Amino acid sequence: MSSIISSDGALGPTYVEIFGPVFWGFCATLVLCGVSTLQGYLYFTRYNDRTGIQVVAGIMLFLDFLSMGLICQSMYYYMLPHYGSLGPLSAVTRELSVECLISAIITFISQMYFVYQLRIGESMLLKSGGRAAWVMIHMTIILGAASLAGGVGCVAIMFTHPHSILMNRNRAFIILAGINKAFGAAADIVATIAMCLFLTGAETGIKRTSSLLRSLIHLVINRGLLVTFAQILMLVLFFASTTHLYWLAVHINTTKLYVNTFFAMLNARTSYLDTVSGPHISMGGLSSARSATVVHTASVDEVKKFSGMNHNSYTMDAIKVTTTSTVADI
What domains can you pick out in the chain, each with its CATH number?
Answer: 3-274 (1.20.1070), 282-329 (no CATH)
Distances (CA, A) of 289 to 195, 294, 298: 29, 9, 13
Is 273 in contact with 294 (CB distance < 8 Å)? Answer: no
Residues ≥6 apart with Cβ < 8 Å to 57 = 40, 43, 44, 49, 262, 263, 266
- Three-state SS sequence of 239-264: HHCCCCCHHHHHHHHHHHHHHHHHHH
Beta bridge partners of 283: 321
219-225 own/partner pairs: CB under 8 Å, 24+ apart: 219/264, 219/265, 219/268, 220/192, 220/195, 220/196, 221/192, 221/196, 223/192, 223/261, 223/264, 223/265, 224/188, 224/189, 224/191, 224/192, 224/195, 225/192
| Residue (of 157, 138, 118, 110) closest to 263 by Cα position | 110
Q: What is the pLDDT along the chain (330 residues), one digit of tens a residue?
A: 444 444 344 456 777 888 888 889 999 999 999 999 999 999 999 888 888 889 999 999 999 999 999 999 999 988 888 777 777 777 889 999 999 999 999 999 999 988 887 776 555 555 555 567 778 888 999 999 999 999 999 999 999 999 888 877 888 999 999 999 999 999 999 988 887 777 666 555 566 666 666 777 777 888 888 888 999 999 999 988 777 888 999 999 999 999 999 998 888 766 555 554 443 333 333 333 333 333 333 444 444 444 444 444 433 444 444 443 334 444
Instruction: For 318, list phi and psi in degrees, rounded to 5.
Output: -160, 150
pTM for the whole thing? 0.75
